[in-house]
Amino acid sequence: MNLTESWNGAPRFVRYADDCNIYARSQRAGERVKQSITGFLSRRLKLKVNEEKSAVARPVERKFLGFSFTAKGRKRRIASKAILRFKSKVRELTSRTKGISLEQMTKQLADYLRRWKGYFGFCQTPSVLVSLDQWLRRRLRAVIWKQWKRGTVRYRKLCARGIKRDLAAHAAGNPRGPWRVANSPAMNTAFPPTYFDSIGLPRLLTVA
């Protein structure tokens, strides 16, 4: 990755392989730079510029290698499409139709999370990582709830996790779906973040 070190009124740029972003002071300056660079690449280097992927826009509206910027352009954030891909992959790995144990599921998920964190942990918006951690744990609680299947099993399992009988009975008789119940007091208490730490699930945000 190459990034110019000085501003001095000249555009800055960042490049990786054939993907490049150029940052100018204004929309008008950006249009000029785009026209100039496109002409240079096509005429001098005989390269074809992908017009569908090329545009002049504010940094917050564009993404680069899975990252974008916050509204004021001061912090590096994970692009929305990258977050959607993350959730899609987690849903795939935690699919309730796979018929595997929670331990097997956690192991596969942990491998993916470590790789993902190694790349996107570079972001400067920790609140996004906190939100994804919470979403992920809720997803796993929903999987657990679904695996228990029947109300009697759910009641017994919750009691075994230290939940009081009245709270366990209320949760076990809850007619709502797994996603809603996964955020209930009973399930949050039975499976706190420390539980998922204990079974080897890494957190996306590590608090010192």
- The Cα 158–Cα 167 span in angstroms is 9
Q: By CB neighbour count within 10 A (0-12 exposed, 13-18 middle, 19+ buried), where does 128 fall? A: middle
- pLDDT tens, position by position, for the chain (208 residues)? 333 333 455 667 777 777 788 887 788 888 888 888 888 888 888 888 888 888 887 777 777 788 888 877 678 889 899 999 999 999 999 986 667 888 889 999 999 999 999 999 888 889 999 999 999 999 999 999 999 999 999 999 999 999 999 999 999 999 999 999 999 999 999 999 999 999 999 999 876 5
pLDDT for res 66: 85
pLDDT for res 52: 80
- Continuous H helices in the chain: 27-39, 80-93, 102-120, 126-148, 151-160, 165-172, 178-181, 185-190, 193-198
pLDDT for res 3: 36
Torsion of CA 127, 86, 207, 179, to 10 degrees: 80
| 184 in Cβ contact with 171 (< 8 Å) | yes
Strand, helix or coil for residue 105: helix
pLDDT for res 6: 39
Name 173's Cβ contacts closer than 8 Å, sequence gap at least 6: 151
Q: pTM value?
A: 0.79
Strand, helix or coil for residue 3: strand
Name 20's Cβ contacts closer than 8 Å, sequence gap at least 6: 13, 14
Neighbours of 47 (CB within 10 A): 11
pLDDT for res 76: 87
pLDDT for res 207: 62
In one letter, which amino acid is 160? Answer: A
